Structures are given as C-alpha cells and as structure tokens.
Amino acid sequence: MTPAVQALWQQGRQTLRDAGIDNANLDARLLLQEALSWTQAQLMSGGDDTVDADTANQYQLLLNRRAGHEPVSRIVGCREFWSLDFQITPAVLDPRPDTETLVQAVLDDLSDKKAPLTIVDLGTGTGCILIALLTELPAATGIAVDQSADALDVARGNATSLGVSDRMTFIQSNWGQMLESDCADIVVSNPPYIDSNDMQQLMPEVALFDPPEALDGGEKGMDDYRKVMADLSRILRPNGRFYLEVGIGQSGQIIELIEEITVMSISIVQDLAGVDRVVASAI
C-alpha cells in the first residue's frame, strides 16, 4: 500500500527527531517537497494524495542524509539569501542569514542608490553579497573575487540565474592581489574568521559540509582580515568605503587593525540578535 503525503511527512518528522535534528518538522517538509518536486502550497493541499514507492524511497534517502547532519540547503543545492535563491555546491560556504546585515549596512549608507558605483566582493563564494547588492543598485557594477575557480563558477552561475551577470566581472585572486589600483568605490568581504583552535568545536552541519578554507581564519581568526586590509588602500578609490563581516567578539580586534590603515571614523553594525556583525570605515 502506498503511503499518503501527510503520513510520509509525519514519518519523516519522527525520523529526524529521533536523530536529534532541530527543526525536524520544517526539514522533513522541505525534503518531502524536494522528493515530490512540489511547492509548499501543493504539499499543504495534497496531504491525502498517495506517493509512489520510488518517491517514498527517494524521500527516505534524503532523510538519511539530513539525519547524518547534512544541511537541507546542501541536500537540495540551494539557499535563500536576501529573498533570492542561490545555488550552492561543496566548493562554497553556505550563506548565513547574519550576512544580510552586511548587505543592509551598505544600502543604509548610500544616499544615491542609482549612482554608477563599482563594488568589489573579496572572497565572493556563492556571490550572495555582491549579487544581492546589485539587485538593489541598478547602476552599480561588481567585481567578484575568489581564489577558488570552482567558487567563481558557482558565483557566475548565480549571477546568470539572478539576472546580473552583465554587470559583473569575475577574477581569480588571493584576496585583492590581482586587482587594479583604484578599482572600487566599495569593498565588501566576509572572510574566514573562525579561530583555528575552535574548528573542532563546530556543529557537524558546518564542520562536515562547509569548505574548511572558507571557515578557518588562523590564529584568533585574524589571518585573512590582515590579507584583506593589506590591499584596501590600493584598490579603493578616494573616499571609498569597506564593509567587513566579523565573528562574535571580534569587532574590537578588527577595529585595531583598521586603525593601522585609516584615520577615518569606524562604524559597527549589529545583527538582529544584537551581535556586532559588520565593521565599516573609509580610506
């Protein structure tokens, strides 16, 4: 006898609860939608529909992956960020909601959102920060920089699917080393900022599935910030601004590094949880 959609959802929810997965109900639903290729509305209205054996087996395989702590976004290959759908692969960091704070910080500082700005994203990964900004700034162009060719391929694909590829350039570089001087009005970056000593303490969803090179920031998580800042004064145009995402408790250390390269005022932006999340200044 083939199971009904609602019964399958209940079974999936229990499977994930037994595996100790948070948000078991939501994750079970999302994975069932993936197995069925249904929208949420279809799932809610079709609870009494029956599911064929192949689809039920596919759903079980997806549940097994989630029970092994693989994030739903990794399983389905997509993450929503700034209300946009970004494709993700093992080559890139899974975008975090906290990073939307950086996007909002840039937008809040701009008095003219139709200005023809050039924005550089150092360590672009999926391209989520830069692409989100370009969707809000119709006259802006962007330069997506990453040392990983695979990551740039992901960013390029996202730029194409989200309609901004004609305003983006992609450069393979170790941070800003390969960029021309005075190429940017704004620099944004979310560099690796986890202390190497803390890498073993990460949740399995992060430790097992995000690329380590996108997480490990060396001693105290500061190594890549120093590399980013080494190029800022060269690549930013006069009065250019930069915005850096920072980890919990790191804003003070970042401010000390910034004070070595600029005398301009430094601002801190908190995320929705009241945590210092973005440090910004100008050259």
Is residue 252 a part of any domain in this protein?
A: yes
Same domain membership, residue 44 and residue 119:
no
Q: Mind listing the pLDDT tens digit for each residue in 195-205?
A: 999 999 999 99
Residue 264 has pLDDT above 90, yes or no: no
- Residue 104 counted as domain residue: yes
Q: Are residues 205 and 172 in the same domain?
A: yes
Does 194 share its domain with 95?
yes
Name the burial class of residue 261, with classes exposed (0-12), middle (13-18) and buried (19+) by CB atoms within 10 angstroms of its CB.
middle
Q: Say if 75 falls within a structural domain.
A: no
Tokens 């601002």 label which residue?
A: 267
Q: Is the pLDDT of residue 1 over 60?
A: no
For range 211-235, the mean pLDDT = 96
Note whether residue 251 is domain-resident. yes
- With CA atoms as reference, report the closest residue to 155 among 169, 141, 138, 140: 169
One domain, residues 269 and 225: yes
Q: Which of 126, 160, 162, 161 is nearest to 144 (CA)?
A: 126
For 131, the domain range is 82-282
Statement to judge: residues 64 and 191 lie in one domain = no
Are 52 and 128 in the same domain? no
Specify if 219 maps to a domain: yes
pLDDT of residue 3 exceeding 90, the answer is no
CA distances from 41 to 29, 37, 38, 83, 205 (A): 11, 12, 8, 18, 28
Output the pTM of the full model.
0.94
* One domain, residues 128 and 176: yes
Of 63-77, 79-93, 172-186, 258-272, give the lowest mean pLDDT range: 258-272
112 shares a domain with 50? no
pLDDT of residue 223 exceeding 80, the answer is yes
Give the rounded percent of residues in the chain with a pLDDT score beyond 70: 99
% of the chain residues with pLDDT over 90: 92
Note whether residue 140 is domain-resident: yes
Whether 122 and 44 map to the same domain: the answer is no
Same domain, yes or no: 165 and 86: yes
Please say if the pLDDT value at position 151 is more than 70.
Answer: yes
Average pLDDT over residues 156-165: 99
Give the number of domains in the chain.
Answer: 2
Same domain, 62 and 88: no
The residue-averaged pLDDT of 223-237 equals 96
Give a yes or no: residue 18 inside a domain: yes
pLDDT at 47: 62
Q: Is residue 223 domain-resident? A: yes
pLDDT over 80 (residue 262): yes
